[in-house]
A and B are shown apart, each in its own frame.
Chain A
């Protein structure tokens, strides 16, 4: 079976994505630079900009937007498990902090 599988897109697409990535990086740097408060708002903005950047890179630079669904699901669904890992170890981190505070007094 022969699949050419070549990705042909106008150069404008890449330049627009490149510009957006620059813009989003600058904005997230400025959020830190001007010390946006409350911190929760800063964290939310930085995470949102990072997810937008990741989406742009994966969709357009890595061409996932133009791939078949069987490949897209195989690529994008398994990494969601990392969120579960992060949630568990972060809860554990908070617990370890409490235990340390209790037994070491800090």
Chain B
């Protein structure tokens, strides 16, 4: 009798310990890994037109940038994103910016506010809204800014780089490694990308509460 009680106790302890390790950690990024083929999308640009990757017949690839108006980190990088587009769009790697936040939670990321911000800053690239919040989860984007570099191949648009723009959000002049430039330069030269994945702080993407 005593033995059975002991056994039941032991088993319940094991179950408790196991359940403690398996619950409650919410998975964040189940999206594209390096080497994945990114699906095309059709998202509304601030000019009212729908934009897809397939519209860019001459592109060699894309600098997909999840960004928004309201995240201070995203704002700190706006000028650098514009500079990236100016430098790399002519070389076949245009920037495509996507605003992933739910605009009910972040009204200042709303469509009109996006238009306004793009005008103020003179965005040279499309600024698309992921209105139904269906595109950023496929990428596995978790924050703004969050960069994905795609290379156009026969098989589709291959994810070649995921992460940060560079290694210093505070001061563009103090940057030591420009990760995105390094990656696109490597792709253009046909070389292996040195840092394929990098990390940076960003604002979590605000997901609609009904989901």
Are A and B a genuine interacting pair, yes or no? Answer: no
By a beta-carbon cutoff of 8 Å, the part of chain B in contact with chain A is none
Residues of A within 8 A of B (CB): none
